[in-house]
Structure 1
Amino acid sequence: MMLKNFTQTRLFHSSRHLLNLKAAIADVIPKRREELLHIKKNFSDVKVGDITIGSVINGMRGNQSMYWESTTLDPNEGIRFHGKTIAECQKLLPGAPEDNGKGEFLPESMLWLLMTGEVPSEEQVRKLTQELAERGAKLPPHTEKLLTSLPRDMHPMTQLAIALASMNKGSIFAEKYQEGSIGKMDYWEYVYEDVLNLIAALPKITGKIYSNIVNDGEPLGHYNVEKDWSYNIASLLGMTVSDSVNMHSLTQERSNDFVNLVRLYCGIHVDHEGGNVSAHTTHLVGSALSDPYLSYSSGIMGLAGPLHGLAAQEVVRFLVEMEKDVDSVENVKQVEEYLWKVLNSSRVIPGYGHAVLRKPDPRFDAMLNFAEKRPKEFKSDAKVQLMKQLSQIAPKVLKEHGKTKNPYPNVDSASGILFYHYGIDQLLFFTVIFGCSRAMGPLSQLVWDRILGLPIERPKSIDLNTIKKICKI
């Protein structure tokens, strides 16, 4: 896409009155740059905390050594987006106009919040939704051809990483940097263009990957330039009434519910501070001035790891197997015995515990509330009912077991089984939808990395002999 006139983005007005996201970002840049420069000049020697040997050899867990602009993760309170909880975001962020305030907020609303730190107006979100829909209307021909050529049984996340990396061919930032025609203070504007183009392309890429898996590459739905980002993801999965080609027999109500499930899932998964593998990898690769396509394709490869993005599929497998072995999800004693059997065989209960959180995951609460608002829809689904039952039983068992720091359900306990309920039963594919959502947080940070001129990331490593000397061994 051709760059628009950048001079307009340097007009500094209150971003509440600016309809264009890029102009709203430009509005807040001077203050943020000044604040960071002041801290860098005057407080660089202030200690954040003491890094221990245990931290060095245990994955740098808990080291407060990374700058992240938009989200913070408190062990007790959960995720906050520029200081706002999920519940506050659900109340404040605009949704789709056709839902009349009864649906979920749009991920586009969250993207605006992540980029600017301010809650957008409905008009600002409408403009951003329209811009993303127009940018995403056509995939680069080489990317589409490449996706068509991939083996149908290739891992969905590999397909996603390949597609995103291939879009590097059209990177505006990479082209301008290679020309040597831009200064450091202007990097962000070209990175921003790549970021929006990447996010806009995700519905079509996602739909193509899913059609590769289940329909021999033939389209399952239509892209609708008049609709929002999540709607087009749902449509291209064959899950909307008006735009589906040949898949599920859906009522309008179920179609609307699925679209809102995508909006909710993508809205609350956009970011989870900077230390998780997908976010950190995107930031790390981007710190070398790799363009957003290369940076986020690297993040996707991290998200594909079983310890990061594949947890939802493990939960679904667990629930499917467990449901076969219990006579009734209402049989509390039998459910407890099943959980003890799992724990006593040195396995874990998937979907419980978290690397940072020590309290129930607010994202799980949001997904659970989605199901509880639709009792008729989920009443007859034993696996969804088992998910709900486990959220009450498993924490008690895990507390008694005593080896889990956080015995509460995380978001993966609920997310995958809800998609499974609606017919998205290709378990490896769940993480592709996760990848759509997670793009917004790390890529927003990538824009701010360039705005603030953050350097290449280069921590110092130490060997075992050095550790021995420090420990006086």
Structure 2
Amino acid sequence: MENSIGIEEKMLKILSRKAQENNKINIELFTKYQVKRGLRDIDGRGVLVGLTEIGDVRSYIVEENEMVPIPGKLFYRGFNISDIVNGFLKKDSFGFEETCYLLLFGNLPTKQELKEFEELLSVYRNLPEGFVRDMILKMPSKDIMNSMARSVLAFYSLDELADDTSVENVLRQCLILIACFPLMAVYGYQACTHYHDNKSLFIHSPLPELSTAENILYMLRPDNKYTKLEATLLDLALVLHAEHGGGNNSTFVTHVVTSSGSDTYSVMAAALGSLKGPRHGGANIKVVQMFEDIKENIKDWTDDKEVEEYLMKILNKEAFDGSGLIYGIGHAVYSISDPRAVIFKKHVEKLAKEKGFENEYNLYAKVEKLAPEVVGKVRKIYKGISANVDFYSAFVYRMLDIPQELFTPIFAMSRISGWSAHRIEEIVNAGKIIRPAYKNIIKRKEYIDIDER
């Protein structure tokens, strides 16, 4: 007689096969009905579903009704991201708090406005009493993104105005989450490594005088120590990941759930779920794993031919994870270049030299150069491809000794500012609930009585 576990496994296999067989749609029908899968045209142009004043991604111009690719550009509230970065780096200051202010309120802050904003974030940078013990330490998760989502939803229970969707209250909630995301992530990681990997538990409280980037490193490291260059590179990563237009998956999720009238905590938990995916925020982990595989299987990192041959194996699903993807190469919008990757690369080389990763940096640069050529040889490309921001951000996090478990959470610590701006924009403009159409293609059937099936 089969035990209950054996029966369960057998039934799940049968039912999963049925689910697989009865949910497969003929791929030719997507072309027949002109379905824009992923809400994108075949040339990569996104379907226009809304308007925004927050972020703008530019990858082409239109000349005589033809799309002409251009080097990618990214704008926050109308300001070129390159100008923003150059502005705060020239002053040798951190830029994430200034960027948050810009995204939320539409203008660059004065010195006094920035000071007051930083002080407000510092006030909010505290988790409720007992929260770390009861919510994070007692139920550690192996995935920090899930741990963060659970923590965010727990905030709902502690907020007497949780369902108030007025702009003033939503702004308060968003500022608290912007301030607390680093704590949720770092403490979630410390709990994970302590309970699952038997490592020492370190819970460091943030310091009010430190920036967001500095506090992340301060809380993460057992000895609280970090260099100015390390904090500067992490701060730069936060700025570059803060916003990317209304159409990226997690920000679109923010608009969709906000349009239903839901609360801030449900909206941000949904956005976290989106960002977790390996096709979105989780891609940076895949880049590091891929390069570890490349380093193990290529004898001479300086040999173009050997590197190219191995990249071809990855594309042909003969190497690495069998996906056929060269992670960190290609983007849904950018073709000639991703401006975030271009900015990052300038500073990554400096950190690589300081940290003794110069040979590895040269390998990254070589793959960046060769990968688009290799892809072009084996696949039909409707637009150009280039390295995206994940390509170098993952390398930076490695050099900063940030564990892989925190790669995507760092993305979330940054993007919460953009999500917050878009949630407020959706509320202010009181749009309709977002509901795109799906065409049903199954033939009509007559109901059959259960005794006759």
d(CA) in 1 for partners of 2:260 and 2:132?
A: 24
d(CA) in 1 for partners of 2:348 and 2:424?
A: 35
Q: 1:249-303 deviations in whole A, cap 9, x for unaligned?
A: x6x5xx2222112211111111111122211112211222222111011110011
| Gap change, CA 1:88 and 1:359, over 3 Å in 2 | same
Secondary structure in 1 aligned to 2:364? helix
d(CA) in 2 for partners of 1:344 and 1:156?
A: 32
Matches within 5 A, 1:292-307: 292-307=264-279
Matches within 5 A, 1:90-169: 90-92=85-87, 94=88, 101-103=91-93, 105-139=94-128, 141-142=130-131, 144-152=133-141, 154-169=142-157
Give me the CA root mean square deviation: 2.5
Secondary structure in 2 aligned to 1:363? helix
| Gap change, CA 1:144 and 1:290, over 3 Å in 2 | farther
CA displacement at 1:364 relative to structure 2: 0.8
d(CA) in 1 for partners of 2:229 and 2:192?
A: 24
Which of 154, 170, 176 pairs up with 2:158?
170
Which residue number in structure 1 is paired with residue 439 of structure 2?
A: 462
Which of 365, 368, 391 pairs up with 1:413?
391
* 1:74 maps to 2:58: yes
Deviates more, 1:437-446 or 1:396-405: 396-405
Matches within 5 A, 1:149-228: 149-152=138-141, 154-171=142-159, 173-174=161-162, 176=164, 187-216=166-195, 218-219=201-202, 221-228=204-211
Secondary structure in 2 aligned to 1:293? helix
CA displacement at 1:236 relative to structure 2: 1.4
d(CA) in 2 for partners of 1:124 and 1:215?
A: 40
d(CA) in 2 for partners of 1:213 and 1:256?
A: 28
Contact 1:371 1:378 in 2 (8 A): no
d(CA) in 2 for partners of 1:386 and 1:304?
A: 27
CA displacement at 1:304 relative to structure 2: 0.9
Contact 1:137 1:225 in 2 (8 A): no
d(CA) in 2 for partners of 1:380 and 1:394?
A: 21
Secondary structure in 2 aligned to 1:79? strand
CA displacement at 1:455 relative to structure 2: 3.2
Contact 2:241 2:414 in 1 (8 A): yes
| Gap change, CA 1:196 and 1:401, over 3 Å in 2 | same
Contact 2:164 2:263 in 1 (8 A): no
Contact 1:107 1:263 in 2 (8 A): yes
TM-score w.r.t. the length of structure 2 is 0.79
* 1:438 maps to 2:415: yes
Matches within 5 A, 1:49-68: 56=35, 58-61=37-40, 62-68=46-52
Q: Among all aligned residue pairs of Structure 1 and Structure 2, give the percentage whose two residues are the same amino acid.
A: 25
Q: 1:147-175 deviations in whole A, cap 9, x for unaligned?
A: 111235x2111111111111112346435
Q: Which amino acid aligns with 2:84?
A: C
CA displacement at 1:53 relative to structure 2: 6.9
Q: 1:449-469 deviations in whole A, cap 9, x for unaligned?
A: 222223322334332269xxx
d(CA) in 2 for partners of 1:453 and 1:215?
A: 45
Q: Which amino acid aligns with 1:374?
A: L
d(CA) in 2 for partners of 1:410 and 1:55?
A: 29
| Gap change, CA 1:143 and 1:458, over 3 Å in 2 | farther
Q: Which amino acid aligns with 2:76?
A: F
Secondary structure in 1 aligned to 2:75? strand
d(CA) in 1 for partners of 2:182 and 2:111?
A: 22
| Gap change, CA 1:64 and 1:140, over 3 Å in 2 | farther
